[in-house]
Every structure is written in structure tokens, then in C-alpha cells.
């Protein structure tokens, strides 16, 4: 029973990490329907900027965090401006391949600058966040991740629901020509959504870095793990991404605990194929109606 | 003798037969024969062993890339699992050769058949999925096949891999680069010939109709799903065939090379070469393999000069960077690929000096 509970807690916290890393992905997909294969690398860039600023340059944590946010916001903006914009209207495969190429570029660059070793942040989270409940122990990083996740969910929910920019984004995602004819500045919406996605990626990268240590390979493999998560939840649903993340996290944790540790890495993809066979647009995804 | 045909100054096809012709003029056919003659009678004798090795690699990759272009470029089904099917073919070939003692000429096509079976299994989701959902399903297939190759130790030898016996055909030993060159390129010419002609048949037209609009294709009475599966099967057959050749050529295989990176490399080949163009797939594989070789030659060169060994180690990851940069630049500046560049160069020669 205790083993079960520990697995449950592990799975939930892992799932929350996945959910957190899926947010930036859903963000991009929701406004520009681009499948971002460079997601893990974007997270790694954010994590490394924060590392360089906080541990190496010796800035105070809060200041380093703010600068990282500004940097990743700008990076997202630049990415959209120079790489994604020329591809508006191109075939899907071109866009997918472009993000794959960007992923290779970023990975090479990060490995060149920071090397393939695992780096660690200095400890800065207060110990008071640790939750000790019977035999179950939840480290403070997970609690912090949980708080950040909830905060994000609420913030983005409000952003998409009430702010004018959020409504523009939804309108662009829904029907681009209609949004254009109603006077929505579609290019600005794309740029903004990539910039925000860059920012979200950086935050999830930092949280993942605090928990597992920062490593380019690790983060880029988590970037691929995002696919089962978002497919499960439906590519354009933020709530679905959270739920999908938690389901995948639990699944991995229980498979690792009860069946075999090697199967753990692959089980999300097996489930993914079955889900797609039953519900082709994910559990909460918007069903596209096609006309000839 | 038939009257020789020259290029008209426009497209004046008056029958479907003319439209379907592979060579517009007899000059095209002549150039093809000259190219084949050069390839088989001159190239193997003037190249060094290292250059032959590169050529053989290009040939093997080109076979698989032509297959992938049938799937992505002509049927419009995006697959990120081609590297895995290539690996299945390599393992099938190796297992048939070592466990069952099949001869070379039998185990290579059979490996293709095994790979096409696996490809059809992972093509099943295409019944309900399309576009990016299908792409993600094939990505999952890539990971699953990867896992099976590593974990099914009793069959695949796990991470240790399999040592493959040297290939021999009708009592001739094919161990040397030069003799394998003939095997690879005869297979390549044959497979390309099949692909080019497949596109001109009823099947090829169905593929193209599905790519352009699968709902409309269904409305016109094309059974969409069987054709999609057929496309997966054909393209995986190409991959498996090439994989088995690779296994025989490398003499030993491990699961390592058949990862997502290889699948990305294949998609990069056909994008850089040109989607929906058979010569494009060949151009793309030439480009990618040469880029790989040039980059590793530069690192090796720096490694061998004593003073710069440290530099070489630190710039090694930049290979990945340059590789990614090449893909990105091609997509942004020449989305139609090298096939389009080739067409422009050719027509500017043809039209010179009156280019309008």
C-alpha cells in the first residue's frame, strides 16, 4: 500500500512536470497550429540562461529570473520573425522539418557552449515547502512545481478568456482568414504567441532543471515526451494538457513500479497509438470538420 | 530510324502518352545511358576505397529515400519512422542470414518484405489519422521499434548487436567495396526504375490523388485506406531492402544507428532533395551523406593535428548545428529542394541565350 502511495505521488509529480512542459507547446499550437519539435531545446535554452545568470554571473535569483524571462521572450519573438514567418502557408511537413532543424541547431549550440554534463542550480528553494505526510515525502521542488503549474493554469485561463490579445489568439487559431478580415493583426498574434511560448518553455525548463539537473539530452527527450501528453489531452486544450500530463506521469510511474523499468520509457507512446486509434483528435481536442 | 526529338519551346503535349513520358526528348534518354555507363564502367575503377565507401553509403540511403518519397512526397503521409523500418530491414536481413542461413540474394528482399509488414502495422493508424496526428503516431512507432530492437535480446542480441557474414552472390565474394558497389547500384537502378514507373500506373495516380485531397479521392471512388496502407508497405519495403544491404555492408549492426535521428535524416533528404520528385530523393541523399562526411572529415582533420585536438573536441557538437542550419536554410530559401535548383539550371542552359 505504501509502495502504491509512493508511486502515486511520484507519478502525480512527474505528471505535473509533463503538464508544465506541455503548456508552451499547446500555446504555440493553439495560436499558429505549428507542431514544435524544438520544444525540449527551447526549455533547455531557458534553463541554461538561468544557470549562466544565477550560478555563473552571480546575479540574485529574482533578477536572474527576470532577465531569463526577458531573454526567452525575445528569443521566441526572433524565432517567429526569422524562421517561422517565411513558412506561413507552406505544407505541414516543411514546418515540422523546420522545427526539427531548429532543434538540431539549438542542441548543437548548447552542447558546444555548455557541454553534455549535468549541471545543477544552487539551492534556493526554502525547505519549508517540503511536505512530509506519514511515510510519503514530497520534496520542495515538486511543491514549487505544483504551485507554479496551478498559477500558470489560472493565469493562462484568464488570459485566453478575458484579455483582448488572448481573444485575438483564439480567433486566429479558429479561422485565420476570418480573423484577418475582422482586423486582427495576425502576424503580431503569431509573434506574441511564440514569445509567450518561449517564456513558458523557459519557466518549465528551469523547474525541470531544479528537479533533475540541467542536461541538454535529458531536456530534449522530455521535449519529445510532450507529444503523448498533448495528444492525450487534445493538441489545443490547456486543461487537456494538464490532465494528459498527469495520466502519462501516473502511467509511467506505475509501469516502472509494477511491470518493468525499461518499459516505462516507451509506455506513453504505446498508449498514444491506442488513444489515437480510438479518438483521432485526442481526448479533449477539437474535432476538425473537413470539407472537400 | 525514328526521328530524334528535340525540346519544343513550351509544353505541347497532345496525348496522355506524351504527358506520361519519362524522357521528353531522346537526348534525355541518351544522357541517362551515358550516366549509367560512367557509373558502372568508369567510377568504380577511378575511385579510392574511401570514395567507394561514400558512394555505397549514398546508394543505400538513396534507395530508402526514394521509398520515403513515395510515401511523403507522393502519398502525402508524413512518417517519422523510416529509420526504424530501415533498422527492421537491417535486423531481418542479419537474422535471416545468421540464424536461418539464407543466402544473400534471398535474405535482402525477404528483409524488405518483413519491413513492409512492420510498416503496414504502423501504417494502420492512417485509417483514421492524418497530417500531424499521423506524424506523431509514426513518431511513436519509431520509439516502439527502437525499444523492441534493444529489448528483444534473444532475437536481436540487444545492445551487442549481430555480426553479419560477408555477402556472396553465385559463389562470388562481395566483401570488397568495389564488388559491393555493383550490388548496391544495380539494386538502386532497379528500385528507382520501379519507383518511377509505379508513379505512372493506376497505383501512382491513386497515391497522388490521395496526397492532393483524400476526401475528393474517396469521392472519385479510390479506396483511400488500402492505398495508404499500400504506400506504407511499398515505402517500408524500400527501407527494409536498403537496411538489409546496409547490414551486409557494415558486417555488424547494433540498434544504435536506427534512432529518431536517422528518421529525421531521411525526411531531411527528401525535403532538401525535393518532395514528390524521384531524382530529388537521390540529390537529397547525395547532399546529406556528403555533408555528414565533410563535417566528420573536418573534425577528424582537426583531431589529428596535435595542437587542435582540444579545439576539435569542443567544436564536435557544432556538426549538429551546421546540419540543422543546412536543413533550416533549405526550407526557408528553397522549399522545393535541389530538384528545383537542378530544373532551373537545366532550363537556363537550354534556353540560353534567349531566356524569354
Tell me the chain B residues in contact with residue A92 when contact means C-beta distances shorter than 8 Å.
78, 131-132, 135
What gap in Å lies between CA B100 and CA B162, rounded to an integer? 14
| Contacts with A, B 147-206, CB within 8 Å | 147, 151
What gap in Å lies between CA A20 and CA A18, rounded to an integer? 5
Span B125-150, average pLDDT: 84
What gap in Å lies between CA B135 and CA A97, rounded to an integer? 11
Cell numbers representing residue B96 in the block: 535471416
Tell me the chain A residues in contact with residue B133 when contact means C-beta distances shorter than 8 Å.
231, 276, 280-281
Please report, for chain B, the start and end positions of each structural domain, with discontinuous segments joined by +.
48-351
* Beta strands at B162-163 and B172-173: parallel, antiparallel or unpaired: unpaired
User: Is this prediction's ipTM beyond 0.85?
Assistant: no
Q: Evaluate whether the domain defined by B48-351 bears CATH number 2.60.40.
A: no
Which value, in Å, is the radius of gyration of the alpha carbons in chain A?
19
- pLDDT single digits (tens) A262-272: 788 888 888 88
Q: Are residues B74 and B208 in contact, defined by beta-carbon separation less than 8 angstroms? A: yes
* A24 falls within a domain: yes
**Best residue of A272, A275, A282 to probe chain B, by most B CBs closer than 10 Å:** A272
* A249 falls within a domain: no
- pLDDT single digits (tens) B224-278: 889 999 999 999 999 999 999 898 888 888 888 888 888 888 988 888 888 888 8
3-class SS at B199? helix
- pLDDT single digits (tens) B176-215: 778 888 888 889 999 999 998 998 889 998 999 998 888 8
pTM: 0.86
Query: For chain A, how many structural domains are there in total?
Result: 1
3-class SS at A133? strand
Task: Give me the sign of the Cα torsion angle A152, A157, A158, A162.
Answer: positive
User: What was the pLDDT predicted at A7?
Assistant: 81
* A278 falls within a domain: no
Q: Is the pLDDT assigned to residue B61 strictly greater than 90?
A: yes
Residue A119 structural domain: 19-225
Report which secondary-structure segment, H or E, holds A39: helix A39-51
The answer, for A98 touching chain B at a CB cutoff of 8 Å, is: yes
**Among residues of chain A, what percentage have pLDDT more than 70?**
91
Neighbouring C-alpha atoms within 13 Å toward the C-beta of A43: 34
| Concatenated DSSP letters of A52-71 | IIIIIS---HHHHHHHHHHH
What gap in Å lies between CA B346 and CA B132, rounded to an integer? 35
Neighbouring C-alpha atoms within 13 Å toward the C-beta of B290: 8
Per the listing, cell 507554479 goes with A148
Q: Are residues A46 and A220 in contact, defined by beta-carbon separation less than 8 angstroms? A: no
Query: A54-88: b or e for each residue (b if 16 or more CB lie within 10 Å)?
Result: beeeebeeeebbebbbebbbebbbebbeebbeebe
* A186 falls within a domain: yes
Q: Is the pLDDT assigned to residue A292 strictly greater than 60?
A: no
User: What was the pLDDT predicted at B6?
Assistant: 63
Q: What length does chain B have? A: 356
Amino acid at each position: 500500500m505504501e509502495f502504491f502511495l509512493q508511486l502515486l505521488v511520484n507519478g502525480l509529480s512527474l505528471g505535473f512536470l509533463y503538464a508544465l512542459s506541455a503548456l508552451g507547446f499547446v500555446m504555440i499550437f493553439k495560436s499558429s497550429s505549428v507542431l514544435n519539435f524544438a520544444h525540449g531545446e527551447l526549455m533547455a535554452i531557458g534553463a541554461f540562461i538561468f544557470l549562466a545568470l544565477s550560478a555563473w554571473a552571480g546575479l540574485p535569483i529574482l533578477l536572474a529570473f527576470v532577465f531569463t524571462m526577458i531573454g526567452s521572450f525575445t528569443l521566441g519573438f526572433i524565432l517567429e520573425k526569422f524562421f517561422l514567418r517565411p513558412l506561413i502557408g507552406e505544407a505541414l511537413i516543411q514546418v515540422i522539418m523546420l522545427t526539427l532543424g531548429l532543434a538540431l541547431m539549438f542542441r548543437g549550440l548548447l552542447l558546444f557552449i555548455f557541454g553534455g554534463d549535468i549541471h545543477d542550480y544552487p539551492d534556493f528553494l526554502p525547505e519549508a515547502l517540503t511536505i512530509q505526510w506519514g511515510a510519503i515525502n514530497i520534496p520542495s521542488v515538486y511543491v514549487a512545481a505544483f504551485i507554479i503549474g496551478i498559477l500558470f493554469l489560472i493565469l493562462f485561463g484568464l488570459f485566453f478568456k478575458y484579455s483582448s490579445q488572448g481573444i485575438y489568439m483564439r480567433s486566429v487559431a479558429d479561422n485565420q482568414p476570418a480573423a484577418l478580415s475582422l482586423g486582427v493583426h495576425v502576424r503580431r498574434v503569431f509573434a506574441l504567441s511564440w514569445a509567450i511560448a518561449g517564456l513558458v518553455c523557459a519557466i518549465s525548463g528551469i523547474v525541470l532543471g531544479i528537479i533533475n539537473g540541467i542536461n541538454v539530452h535529458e531536456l530534449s527527450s522530455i521535449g519529445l515526451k510532450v507529444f503523448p501528453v498533448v495528444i492525450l489531452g487534445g493538441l489545443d486544450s490547456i486543461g487537456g494538457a494538464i490532465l494528459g500530463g498527469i495520466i502519462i506521469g501516473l502511467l509511467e510511474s506505475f509501469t516502472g513500479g509494477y511491470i518493468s523499468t525499461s518499459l516505462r520509457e516507451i509506455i506513453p507512446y504505446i498508449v498514444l497509438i491506442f488513444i489515437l486509434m480510438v479518438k483521432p483528435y485526442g481526448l479533449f481536442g477539437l474535432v476538425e470538420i473537413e470539407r472537400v | 530510324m525514328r526521328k530524334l526529338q528535340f525540346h519544343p519551346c513550351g509544353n505541347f503535349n497532345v496525348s496522355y502518352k506524351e504527358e506520361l513520358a519519362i524522357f521528353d526528348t531522346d537526348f534525355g534518354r541518351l544522357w541517362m545511358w551515358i550516366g549509367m555507363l560512367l557509373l558502372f564502367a568508369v567510377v568504380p575503377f577511378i575511385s579510392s576505397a574511401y570514395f567507394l565507401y561514400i558512394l555505397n553509403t549514398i546508394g543505400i540511403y538513396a534507395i530508402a529515400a526514394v521509398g520515403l518519397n513515395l510515401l511523403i512526397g507522393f502519398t502525402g503521409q508524413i512518417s517519422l519512422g523510416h529509420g526504424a523500418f530501415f533498422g527492421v530491414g537491417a535486423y531481418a536481413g542479419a537474422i535471416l542470414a545468421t540464424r536461418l542461413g539464407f543466402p544473400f540474394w534471398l535474405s535482402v528482399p525477404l528483409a524488405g518484405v518483413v519491413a513492409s509488414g512492420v510498416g503496414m502495422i504502423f501504417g494502420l493508424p492512417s485509417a483514421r489519422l492524418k497530417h500531424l496526428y499521423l506524424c506523431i503516431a509514426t513518431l511513436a512507432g519509431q520509439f516502439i521499434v527502437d525499444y523492441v530492437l534493444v529489448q528483444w535480446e534473444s532475437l536481436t542480441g540487444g545492445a551487442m548487436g549481430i555480426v553479419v557474414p560477408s555477402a556472396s552472390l553465385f559463389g562470388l565474394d562481395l566483401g570488397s567495396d568495389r564488388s559491393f558497389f555493383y550490388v548496391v547500384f544495380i539494386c538502386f537502378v532497379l528500385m528507382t526504375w520501379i519507383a518511377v514507373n509505379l508513379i505512372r500506373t493506376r497505383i501512382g495516380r491513386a497515391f497522388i490523388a490521395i496526397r492532393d485531397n483524400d476526401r475528393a479521392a474517396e469521392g472519385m471512388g479510390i479506396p483511400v485506406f488500402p492505398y495508404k496502407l499500400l504506400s506504407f508497405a511499398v515505402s517500408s519495403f524500400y527501407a527494409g531492402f536498403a537496411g538489409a544491404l546496409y547490414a551486409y555492408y557494415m558486417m555488424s549492426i547494433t540498434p544504435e544507428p536506427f534512432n529518431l535521428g536517422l528518421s529525421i535524416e531521411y525526411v531531411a533528404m527528401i525535403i532538401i532533395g525535393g518532395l514528390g520528385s524521384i531524382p530529388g530523393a537521390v540529390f537529397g541523399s547525395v547532399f546529406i551523406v556528403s555533408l555528414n562526411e565533410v563535417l566528420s572529415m573536418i573534425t577528424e582533420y582537426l583531431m589529428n593535428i596535435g595542437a587542435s585536438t582540444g579545439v576539435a573536441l569542443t567544436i564536435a557538437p557544432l556538426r549538429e548545428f551546421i546540419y540543422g542550419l543546412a536543413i533550416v536554410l533549405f526550407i526557408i530559401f528553397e522549399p522545393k529542394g535541389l530538384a528545383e535548383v537542378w530544373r532551373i539550371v537545366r532550363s537556363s542552359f537550354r534556353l540560353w541565350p534567349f531566356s524569354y
